[in-house]
């Protein structure tokens, strides 16, 4: 029988209790830490307070999902009102319709939309919809790109020098032990932002490719924006060969008012969305061309993709998401992106003053810090060996414990609209002290 949780128990005790009922004590690896994870007590705005009463400035924002920070009053008010009317029904809701209208009006490439419960589900549905529409089995994706926990989407997510193969024909590398060979055989891997090599790889699989899937600013690749030329080349290839162009904008929708795709001449046939569109609640959405999205339409004589989900489009999430996206209007997007550019400039000044070999990449309201003097341009350049990962862990621990600042575990920051110049100054000054404290170690990386 599990031990009763008492008030004021410390993190170590809670973790020991958690390990008895949860594998590893956590339900997501991103919050795992040694000797134990940290436990939140409450959060408001851009601050999170742990169970020991320590308040920290939050630049992680639940892995980029909280565009307005924690417990935004307008979102809370709308959700509380909906809570009184119910949380989920075996019926359609006006909240779903209103949110669908907002997303279709906001993103030109999204003519129709379907709601799910996570970004992983949205990507999964997008890949399956592409297969249903084209009748082809294979999907192509960038080496190193993260697209959630669907087994096909995970392929080559963490490939390394020991298994990634020749750049002209990267290997399809499994993430999870026991991944069927058939999954690997139906995923085609290509190098990010390399037009010549990518087109050559796609040509070899042209008859079997349902779609090419891209994150326009892939975090795991290095948080490097795709070039307009790269996107256009793939779009033209897809049009020539009857394949679809898929965008995973689960993270990158925050980059522009219409998502990162507003910065490209070529638009995707389908877009997976999540994170910020949930207003702090679990969410996923898939939108795209009307003819492609017809695979979901139950009115069709032959339904190609029956799709359901018990909590898909639940009124709590769709209400919170609609309010969050209404608040994240063009002015809010521009202001947050401008504040992020100020943040990057100040951190670059801290890097210069500390005289350490560090660089920054990013787009919109997100950026990533690299332990190299020159910003990486590819996944293989951004790849971090174990010793570098260990140094980053030490830097993050310094920021967390000494500066009381939370960052994403890739040494990245995701900004929120409730942040001001005061928070930016605190981050840049804290990073300067962090760089200076670890200067000897960082200099050896040059």
Residue with the two structure tokens 């925050």: 254
The yes or no reply on domain 38-67+329-443 and CATH 3.90.1150.10 is yes
Reading across the β-sheet that carries 366-370, which strands appear in turn? 359-363, 366-370, 412-414
pLDDT score of 4 more than 90 = no
| Positions marked active-site | 146, 248, 275
Residue 132 has pLDDT above 80, yes or no: yes
Res. 1: pLDDT tops 70 = no
Q: How confident is the model at residue 270 (pLDDT cuts 50, 70, 90)?
A: very high
- The answer to whether the predicted template modeling score (pTM) of the entire model surpasses 0.85 is yes
The closest of 226, 408, 222, 221 to 416, measured between CA atoms, is 408
Mean pLDDT, the chain, whole residue set? 97
Looking at the predicted structure, is the pLDDT value of residue 2 above 80? no
**pLDDT band for position 410 (cuts 50, 70, 90):** very high
Domain 73-327: assigned CATH number: 3.40.640.10
Give the pLDDT mean for 325-349: 98
Q: What residue ranges do the domains of the chain occupy?
A: 38-67+329-443, 73-327
Instruction: Give tens-digit pLDDT for 183-217.
Output: 999 999 999 999 999 999 999 999 999 999 999 99
pLDDT of residue 67: 98
Report helix angle 195-204 to 228-241, nearest 10.
20
Mean pLDDT within 153-163: 97
Mean pLDDT for 402-427 is: 98
In this predicted structure, the answer to whether residue 418 has a pLDDT above a threshold of 80 is yes
> Is beta strand 270-274 parallel, antiparallel or unpaired with respect to 366-370?
unpaired
3-state secondary structure of 142: strand
pLDDT of residue 196: 98
392 vs 35, higher pLDDT:
392
Q: What is the mean pLDDT of residues 339-349?
A: 98
Q: How far apart are CA 216 and CA 150, in angstroms?
A: 19
Position 7 scores a pLDDT of 77
Residue 283's pLDDT band (boundaries 50, 70, 90)?
very high
């Amino acid at each position: 029988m599990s031990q009763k949780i008492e008030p004021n128990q410390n993190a170590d005790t809670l973790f020991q209790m958690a390990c008895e009922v949860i594998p590893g004590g956590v339900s997501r690896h991103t919050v795992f830490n040694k000797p134990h994870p940290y436990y939140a007590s409450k959060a408001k705005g851009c601050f999170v307070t742990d169970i020991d009463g320590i308040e920290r400035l939050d630049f992680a924002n639940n892995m980029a999902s909280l565009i307005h920070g924690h417990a935004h009053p307008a979102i809370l008010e709308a959700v509380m009102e909906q809570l009184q009317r119910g949380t989920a029904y075996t019926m359609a809701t006006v909240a779903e319709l209103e949110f669908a209208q907002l997303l279709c009006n906001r993103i030109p490439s999204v003519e129709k939309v379907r709601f799910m419960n996570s970004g992983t589900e949205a990507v999964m549905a997008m890949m399956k919809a592409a297969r249903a529409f084209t009748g082809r089995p294979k999907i192509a994706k960038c080496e190193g790109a993260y697209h959630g926990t669907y087994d096909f989407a995970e392929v080559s997510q963490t490939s390394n020098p020991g298994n990634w193969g020749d750049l002209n024909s990267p290997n399809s590398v499994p993430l999870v032990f026991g991944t069927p060979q058939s999954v690997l055989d139906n995923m085609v891997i290509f190098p990010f932002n390399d037009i010549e090599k990518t087109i050559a790889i796609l040509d070899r699989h042209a008859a079997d490719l349902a779609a090419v899937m891209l994150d326009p600013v892939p975090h795991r690749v290095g948080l490097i924006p795709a070039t307009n030329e790269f996107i256009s080349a793939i779009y033209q290839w897809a049009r020539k060969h009857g394949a679809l162009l898929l965008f995973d904008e689960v993270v990158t929708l925050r980059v522009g008012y219409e998502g990162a795709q507003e910065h490209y001449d070529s638009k995707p046939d389908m877009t997976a969305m999540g994170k910020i569109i949930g207003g702090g609640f679990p969410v996923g959405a898939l939108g795209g061309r009307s003819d492609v999205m017809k695979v979901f339409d139950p009115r069709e004589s032959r339904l190609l993709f029956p799709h359901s989900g018990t909590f898909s489009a639940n009124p709590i999430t769709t209400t919170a998401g609609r309010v969050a996206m209404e608040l994240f209007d063009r002015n809010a997007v521009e202001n947050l992106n401008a504040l992020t550019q100020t943040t990057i400039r100040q951190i670059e000044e801290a890097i210069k003053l500390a005289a350490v070999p560090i660089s920054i990449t990013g787009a919109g309201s997100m950026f990533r810090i690299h332990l190299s003097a020159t910003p990486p341009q590819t996944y293989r350049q951004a790849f971090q060996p174990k010793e570098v990962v260990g140094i980053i862990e030490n830097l993050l621990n310094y920021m967390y414990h000494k500066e009381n600042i939370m960052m994403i575990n890739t040494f990245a920051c995701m900004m929120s609209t409730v942040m001001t110049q005061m928070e930016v100054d605190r981050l840049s000054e804290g990073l300067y002290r962090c760089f200076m404290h670890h200067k000897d170690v960082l200099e050896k990386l040059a």
